[in-house]
Structure 1
Amino acid sequence: MGSTIHDVARLANTSKSTVSRYLNGQKVKKATQDALEKAIEELNFHRNANARKLVMNKTNTIGVVVDNISNIFYSGIISGIERVAKKKGYNCIFYSWTSNYENEISFLNLLYEGQVDGIILVSFLKREAKDLIKIRDTEYPIALIGDHGELEGLFSVDVDNAAGTSDIVAYLHRKGHRSIAYIAGPENAGANKYRLKGYKQAMEALKLDYHPEWVVESNWSNQGGYQAMKKLLQQQGFTAVIASNDETAIGALRAIQEHGLNVPGQMSIVGFDDITISEWVYPSLTTVRQPFEAIGIHAAEGLFGKIDGYEEMNQSSHLLKPQLVIRDSCDNLNHHSQ
């Protein structure tokens, strides 16, 4: 058996209620504090989390549920969440549901069963409307990162994907490009729809012709970008390509170069995400950087607001602006020799 709160009180020569006060973060006299710390160390005392949970009706733990633990983008988000949790004196437990897409919603049971005080659901996949309604209608503290299906009354945080692609179109336009192709992403990615929307809106706002045949799909892999670009290169007329993520852009870059075109001399290309390798390909890739850590911080702060009972502040979606990162894969059009 481990030591109990009685043992600590006896060794520190104080009352059980004083030990309890100290353990719950309340002030005690300096001399008492020193005696307690010494007793706790000597007895190797560990508070019983379950007993504390019953008394406080709190676990001091939040759950962070990700769809796929190996997704490189989640590390920034997670470090943002952890920063806020640490400040609040909370632990994070991480869950991954790689195997079955139907599963995100089943993690709400952790809340219902009192295993955690709140949950952050992190996914870049498109969410189903019925799941989002269920999340919205629960009274428990939940924060969403990623797709919120444009449903009102949910607290969610995401990157402003449409603004990201709009910025790219505007940048290419400033460089003299008027004919811009686009490689879209997979249907099941939450961001895909908004990135495409940003492209279309910016083309329209700048009075540039939209050619549906210049929009091709990819699965957001290097291979997918390579294939999509080969398809685009069967057509003529465009001077720049926006790939809706960096992996796709890197595959597309290879296809352009194999086709005998110089980047950026004869064709400009832009990605989205700013993954590490985008700086190391040749030419280095102009892209859009997502504020992953800020997304994590924002979501965690919103969740703790709900845990602390500031419910009404928190039922809206927040889009954080990405940032254009200019490197070497775009050129002014008057330099292009098409």
Structure 2
Amino acid sequence: MPASIKDVAKLAGVSQATVSNVRTGNKYVRPELVARVNDAIEQLGYIPNPMASRLRGNRSFVVGVILPTFYHPFHAGILKGIQDVALGSEYLINVYATGSDLKREYDSLVRFLYSMPDGVIISSYANDEAEYGRECFATIKELVSSKKKVPVISLERHLLIPGVESILSDYEQAAYDTVKYLIGLGHKEIAHISGPMARDDSIKRYQGYLRALKEHNLPFNPAYVRNGLFTPESGYACTRDLMLKTDVTAIFAANDETGIGAIKALKDLGRRIPQDVAVIGVDNIYAGTLIEPSLSTVDVPGYQMGRMAMSRMLDFTNDHQSPNHKKPTYLSTTIVPRKSTEADRETTWDLYDW
């Protein structure tokens, strides 16, 4: 039989109320008692019962999560980070994948509007110009302005909506650093295959690309830019088009999937990588280490983003903190050079570490 809160209290030598306060953070508990309770929880393998908690108040002990996909390694990392923090709390997560489809994103938000979870974490594709984009934003506003005032955390983009806190990587600076790195390798004819330009993070990458060119006195050539879709197929098609119409020597791909498609196209065209054309992506997904040549990339900390999002949600629900919609939290990125930009670079990989 699973351990109960009564078992934890008995082993720790405290009351059940103290165990509950340690778990929820609702009241101050002396550090020595917190340590005893946590030791007892670990020894007994205690898992809180969210249903029992719901009966004691108006909280659902559910956090809703909306992501574009489950299977992309970057978003899978976000989801794992959310889950790892949630497993240490009384919270369950209810997850929807939208397939980057705004109708499905809107439907998922409406479901949460009806069920009223204690919070929502979302990586939104919505924009004011797209069908269902305005509906998505309106539903988010309904959630945060409802009687329950459901806190919302936006991932990968800054939503200036009161009640919504944003956690994202500084894609503009990451793109700037990436193009600067390529320039440092001697490249002057640098192409950019973007993501969907309706997305804020795609626009930020493009802006960083432009800033790096300008600050290093390199002319901007619109013929070197292609609008992609964050997919290997679009990376392949855009690269073939670039090679037929330009003489670029480096490609800055908006994400690793695009970069993998670019490498495939270059190899099919008989181009040497990186001797003829260098390629670098963004995200640092494990597939980039398995192709030949291995893909240089920008490490974006998706797992840490997920952990931070769920930790902040617990701050909102347990400590009654309010989301800061004006000041987003930016996570730092790191360039990871591999053979697609430096032929002599050593490449190591460990699938068990992803």
| Structure 2 counterparts to residues 1-338 of structure 1, below 5 A | 21=17, 24=20, 52-98=53-99, 101-108=102-109, 116-123=117-124, 125-127=125-127, 128=133, 131-132=136-137, 134-136=139-141, 138=145, 139-149=149-159, 154-307=164-317, 308-311=319-322, 313=324, 316-331=327-342
Kindly indicate whether the alpha-carbon contact (under 8 Å) linking 1:59 and 1:117 is maintained by their aligned counterparts in 2.
yes
Task: State percent identity of aligned pairs.
Answer: 26
Q: Give the Cα separation in 2 of the matches to 1:49 and 1:217.
A: 46
TM-score by length of 2: 0.73
Q: Report if aligned partners of 1:154, 1:317 keep a CA contact under 8 Å in 2.
A: no
User: Per-residue deviation at 1:69?
Assistant: 3.2
- Deviations along 1:118-155, one digit per CA (max 9) or x if unpaired, are 221234x2443563355245222221223335557631
Query: 1:229: how far off?
Result: 1.1
Counterpart residue type for residue 105 of structure 2: E
- 1:104-126 CA distances to partner (integer Å, 9 max, x unpaired)? 34545566556522221234x24
**Aligned to 2:154, what secondary structure does the other structure show?**
strand
How many Å apart are 1:194 and its aligned residue? Answer: 1.5
Residue ranges of structure 1 left out of the alignment (5+ in a row): 10-17, 28-36, 38-45, 333-338
The residue number in structure 2 matching 1:12 is none
The 8 Å contact of residues 80 and 297 in structure 1, kept in 2 or not, is answered as yes
Unaligned 5+ segments in structure 2 are 7-13, 23-28, 30-39, 41-46, 128-132, 344-354
- Distance, in Å, in 2 between the alignment partners of 1:326 and 1:254 is 19
1:312: how far off? Answer: 5.7
Structure 2 CA distance for partners of 1:110 and 1:58, relative to 1, 3 Å: farther
Q: Judge conservation of contact 2:64–2:117 (CA < 8 Å) in 1.
A: yes
CA 1:132 to 1:321, structure 2 compared with 1: closer, same or farther past 3 Å? farther
Separation of aligned partners in 1, 2:204 and 2:153:
20
In structure 1, distance between residues paired with 2:161 and 2:136 = 11
Secondary structure of the residue aligned to 1:156 is strand
Task: Report the TM-score when normalising by structure 1.
Answer: 0.76
The amino acid that maps onto 1:310 is Q
What corresponds to 1:42 in structure 2?
none
For residues 59-106 of structure 1, what are the alpha-carbon distances to aligned partners after superposition, in whole Å with 9 as ceiling and x for unaligned? 322222233333332221112112322333322222334495234345
SS at match of 1:63: strand
- Aligned pairs, number: 304
